[in-house]
Amino acid sequence: MTIYYNFYDVAGLLLIFNKENLLERIDFANISEHFQQHVGHENHEYFVRFFDNYFSKKGVELDFSRLETKGISNFYLDIYKTLSKTEFGEKITYKKLAEKAGYKNAFRATGSAMAKNRWPVLIPCHRVVGHSSPGGYSSGIGLKLKLLDLEERYKKVMNRRLD
């Protein structure tokens, strides 16, 4: 089962589920006005709700049991779980992410985990940056910068509302 999701007019997301209705991966697609959101399984609805609430303080916390994680190392899962707790608009270096996950000197391996992330945006690898550069992004640096810009603009709007 594949669901198309228009992510805030920045990217189209293809949510690809396996036979057990676990989210296997997310691929990027061209933005389309035609997308399916209402589907039969509760896991499908969960991820649509997650993306609908992406910027909400009352957003849905990521439930890793809804992801297909077979073949992913515990190290990668630890990195992904740590990264999933970063707030939108927050950037983190590969080194700092590795340290927060409990792997002090594993910043290069953390970069590998980001490059192999099956669930971009859901596991927000676009927020991980190099010490002096934006770092890489498997779907292209242009998209990474768009996602970072979207989050930064939204964060500024929210901060103005709180003032």
CATH for 129: 1.10.10.10
Given a cut of 60, is residue 163 above it in pLDDT? no
Contact 15, 47 (CB under 8 A): yes
* Confidence tier at 39 by pLDDT (50, 70, 90): low
CA distance 66 to 69: 9
Boundary-marking domain end, from 36, 65, 94: 65
Q: Which residues are identified as catalytic?
A: 125
Looking at residue 59, its pLDDT comes to 53
Tokens of 144: 């990474």
Boundary-marking domain end, from 65, 87, 106: 65
Whether residue 88 is found in the same domain as residue 155: yes
Looking at residue 112, its pLDDT comes to 95
The rounded percent of the chain whose pLDDT value lies above 70 is 87
Boundary-marking domain end, from 43, 65, 87: 65
Count Cα atoms within 13 angstroms, Cβ side, for 29.
Answer: 19
Entry pTM: 0.86
Whether residue 31 is found in the same domain as residue 9: yes
Question: In 23-51, which positions are buried (b, 16+ CB within 10 angstroms) versus exposed (e)?
Answer: bbbbebeeeeeeeeeebeeebbeebbebb
Whether residue 106 is found in the same domain as residue 75: yes
Contact 66, 47 (CB under 8 A): yes
Count of structural domains, the chain: 2
Task: Express each pLDDT in 99-158 by its tens digit.
Answer: 999 999 999 999 999 999 999 999 999 999 988 888 888 777 888 898 898 888 887 776
Q: Residue 103: which domain range?
A: 71-162
Whether residue 15 is found in the same domain as residue 84: no
**Mean of the per-residue pLDDT values of the chain:** 86
* Confidence tier at 57 by pLDDT (50, 70, 90): low
